[in-house]
Amino acid sequence: MAHKELNGKEDFTKALETKGRYVFIYAHDSEVPAPAQDSCRNAKKFSETTDAYGLNVAKYPVAKDHFKIEKVPTAIVYKDGKEIKRVDEMSQESIKEVEQILLS
């Protein structure tokens, strides 16, 4: 599951309109931290069910309001436009929680 970059409100809206698949959004404020990069490389197992997006909120600050992001990094999982799970300041434990959702 390679992350596609969200580059503005049109991309934000289009991502959330995805039906029948999980939408995973990883919000960060500059460089993607190493643990997240490792997670992305290991996440090929989710590519059948999940569209993954990176979101640089430093580059697109309007995204913080759009996705109600208070802390970074934050991971948000949606399905059919509805938020399923949100994890602020991701830890290894929280990454595993998200992976369990994406495997279900």
pLDDT tens digits in sequence order for the chain, 104 residues long: 457 889 888 999 999 999 999 999 988 887 665 555 555 555 577 888 899 888 899 998 888 888 999 998 888 999 999 999 999 877 778 888 888 888 87
Instruction: Tell me the DSSP string of 38-99.
Output: HHHHHGGGGTTTEEEEEEETTT-THHHHHTT--SSSEEEEEETTEEEEEEES--HHHHHHHH
Its domain, for residue 98, covers 4-103
Query: Residue 38: what pLDDT?
Result: 54
Query: Residue 18: what pLDDT?
Result: 95
Question: Whole-angstrom Cα distance, residue 37 to residue 70?
Answer: 21
pTM of the full structure: 0.85
DSSP 19: -
Other CB atoms closer than 10 Å to residue 76's CB: what's the count?
A: 22
Query: Residue 1: what pLDDT?
Result: 45
Domain count, the chain: 1
Measured in residues, the chain has a length of 104
Query: Residue 40: what pLDDT?
Result: 58
Say which CATH number the domain at 71 has: 3.40.30.10
